[in-house]
Every structure is written in C-alpha cells, then in structure tokens.
Amino acid sequence: MKNLIAPPRIWKVLPLALGGAVLLGAAALAVRAADDKKPAAAAPRPALSVTTTQPQVISLPLKIAANGNIAAWQEAIIGTEANGLRLADVRVNVGDVVKKGQVLASFAPDLLQADVAQIRAVVAEAEAALAEAAANAARARELQSSGALSDQQINQFMTAERTAQARLEAQRAQANTQALRLRQTQVLAPDDGVISARSATVGAVLPAGTELFRMIRQGRLEWRADVASSDLARLKPGMNARVTPSGGTPIAGKLRMVAPTVDPLTRNGIVFVDLAPSPGARAGMFASGEFDIGQGQGLTLPQSAVLLRDGFSYVLRVGPDARVSELKVSVGRRVGDRIEITGGLDANARVVASGGGFLSDGDTVRVVDGPAQAAATPATSVKK
C-alpha cells in the first residue's frame, strides 16, 4: 500500500509541468497564426518586354551555288609568220584594246623588199621572153599553110610560147610569195579584243611561229564553275546566274554550256557562264556564284528573331507562362530581312521577334503587341 501512494514531492512538480506544456502549445499557435498573416510570395518579375512572331511560309527562289574561276572566252595566240627577221617595232602592250586588222608589231622589211625588187625584175624578164615567143608562134601559124616552115619548126615555136607562158606564171607566183612575206613583216590583230600577254621584244631576231602576244578575243570573259554532278541535271543553257568575284561586285551572267563529262575524282562538272562586261572581272580570278532554277516554298522568320551563339542558330520560344526557352534551329536561304528555318521549330510556335540577345533560357518576359509584319518580298538568296 505504501508503494501506491506517490511521494509528496511529485505532487509539487506535476502542476509546474502541466503549466509549461500549456505555455508551449500557446506559443506554437501564436507562431502559426503569424505565419498565416504573412503575404504570399511575389510573382517573378519580367526581364524584358518583347513582341512575338510566328514562322511564315513564303515563296523563295531556288538556287544552286557554285565556285569557279573567271577565264577568257577564247584566247588567241599571235605569233610571227616571218622567219629570221629582226623585230623593229612593238606598238601595243598588255591591257590595250585593239581592233581587227590593227598593226601590233612590225619586223624590219629591208631584206624582203630587196627580194621583192629582184623577183619583179625576173617577172619582167619572163614577160619579155613570153612576148618574143608569142610573136614567133604567131608568125609560124601564118606560114603554116605556105609550107615555108616545116611542121617540126612550127611545133617548136608553139612549144616555146607555152614554155615562156609557164615560166612567167611561175615567176609571178614567186613574186606573190615574196609580196606575202613582205606583208607578214606587220603583225596584225586577228580579231577585236584585249592584249592579255606580251613576249615581243624590240631587236629580237625570231624564227617563224614564235609567240608575240596573247589576246582575249572580243574582250569576253566567262565563269567556269564547278558544280556537283547531282545538280547538273537541273541546269539548262540560258539560265541566269549571278557571279561575285573575290572582293568585287556581283556580275550578271548567262549559262552557255554544261560540260558533257564529269571529273571522276571530284564528281564535279564544269559549267560555262558568259559574263556581262565588268571592270571588276579579270581572267584568272576566283569567283563564287549561284544559278536561278525556279521558286519554292519555305518557312521563314525575321532575321532579328534568329540568334547566333557558339556557331549555331537559336530562337527563343515563348511559352504559355511567358517564359522563354532556347531552341536550336537549322537555317537555310536568306530573303531580304527574312531567313529560312529548315528544322528544329514548329510552324505554330511563338518566338521573340527581336532583342533576344538580352534574354537567357528560362527568363520571364512581358509580351506586348507589335506592328503588323510586312509581307516578305523574295530577293537574292544564299544557299546554305
């Protein structure tokens, strides 16, 4: 019975413990009430006010890009026909524009002039011999019926006439040859064109066939472009081309011919394009260009909506919660201020129209209404 009755000191401590528990419960209720009275967390603040745009399908020019060299349409090699003569005068230099028949250079004609004078004397002598032989033959024909001359003598006179005639013709042919050699002392332009190279030196004694000049016939240049064999079937003579020399301005061209063969190593074929006259084009220059082959449809965005980061193209898509997400896209041709999107973006997506360079993935934006977008006009494109 003694063990069932608590000691007196326990009865003294128990009221104090109960009072402390009540105080702790009241404090917890007060803290919870204070927390309930705190304001809700503020919403994220927009990083930027932006306008949005959606991809548009527009008509784009279809083009084939190529690279190649500018060369002369035809290059004429002008040489000497005279043999062993001294070059006395050179009248043109590299870059000169010449006309057909213009004198480019001349050789010393003294030796040939002497030969021409000599052959003229020989021709005169042959003419005199023919005149005498013709007179003898005429008299023999007159006396043929009288019997004063035998048939043998008459035949001799007639044969002498024919022989004199043949000798005269041979001497006249020699005279023509010498006159031709004399004319060859002047080197003439075979066609209109531009002198592209000169190796003629005054005072040189040259054999026949030595090259003196090179000329771009008619001053015409062409672009010889290397085109992949897979694209050759789409190119036809008469198509328009746009050729841009290195560091120069674009030049209009027209496709003249597609080579009938393909290089088995590179699998490229050569396409010949006639170029319009341009002071910026020179034979031997490297040039890039493109061929117009028609029209096609493409999904495009304003160029301001496409960001270039780390060598890749990105757009910032705006979600329903006004947060932007960075999307990597593939781009193609450029038309005016628009750029073709070839992959990585849904046609119904809303993207930041401009100012995306100030935003990061996950930022919150305020979308505002922008001006209506003008219809895109097809322009020159660049193949990717």
Instruction: HSE, CB side, 13 Å, CA atoms: give it for residue 35.
Output: 6
CA 228 to CA 224: how far, in whole Å? 13
Closest CA to 289 of 59, 63, 61, 72: 63
CA 383 to CA 62: how far, in whole Å? 9
Integer angstrom CA distances of residue 15 from 7, 19, 23, 26, 333: 14, 6, 13, 17, 88
Burial-class residue 106 by CB neighbours within 10 Å (0-12, 13-18, 19+): middle
Q: 3-state SS string over 119-143?
A: HHHHHHHHHHHHHHHHHHHHHHHHH
Helix (H) or strand (E) holding 305, with range, is: none
Integer angstrom CA distances of residue 366 from 49, 51, 55, 83, 264: 5, 8, 20, 89, 59
Helix residue ranges, H only, the chain:
8-37, 110-143, 151-183, 229-232
Based on C-alpha coordinates, what's the Rg of the chain? 50
CA 303 to CA 311: how far, in whole Å? 16
15-52 pLDDT, tens digit per residue, is 555 555 555 555 555 545 545 544 444 556 766 778 88
Task: Please state, as a whole number, how many other Cβ atoms lie within 10 Å of the Cβ of residue 261.
Answer: 7
Q: What six digits make up the tokens of 340?
A: 């073709």
* pLDDT value of residue 373: 43
* pLDDT value of residue 11: 47
To the nearest 10°, report the CA torsion of 170, 172, 175, 180.
Answer: -100
* pLDDT value of residue 212: 95
* pLDDT value of residue 236: 92
* pLDDT value of residue 20: 53
Q: What six digits make up the tokens of 71?
A: 């060369």
* pLDDT value of residue 204: 92
313 neighbors 329 (Cβ within 8 angstroms): yes
- In tens digits, the chain (384 residues) has pLDDT values of 344 444 555 445 445 555 555 555 555 555 455 455 444 445 567 667 788 888 888 888 888 899 999 999 999 999 998 888 999 999 999 999 999 999 999 999 988 888 889 999 999 999 999 898 888 888 887 777 777 777 788 788 888 889 999 999 999 999 998 888 899 899 999 999 999 999 999 999 999 999 999 999 999 999 999 999 989 999 999 999 999 998 889 999 999 999 999 999 999 999 999 999 988 899 999 999 999 888 878 888 988 888 888 888 998 888 888 888 888 998 888 888 888 888 888 888 888 888 777 787 888 888 887 554 433 333 333 343
Closest CA to 160 of 192, 132, 189, 124: 132
205-250 pLDDT, tens digit per residue, is 999 999 999 999 999 999 999 999 989 999 999 999 999 998 889 9
CA angle in degrees (0–180, nearest 5) for 242-246-250: 25
Integer angstrom CA distances of residue 219 from 72, 76, 193, 229, 357: 8, 11, 5, 30, 50
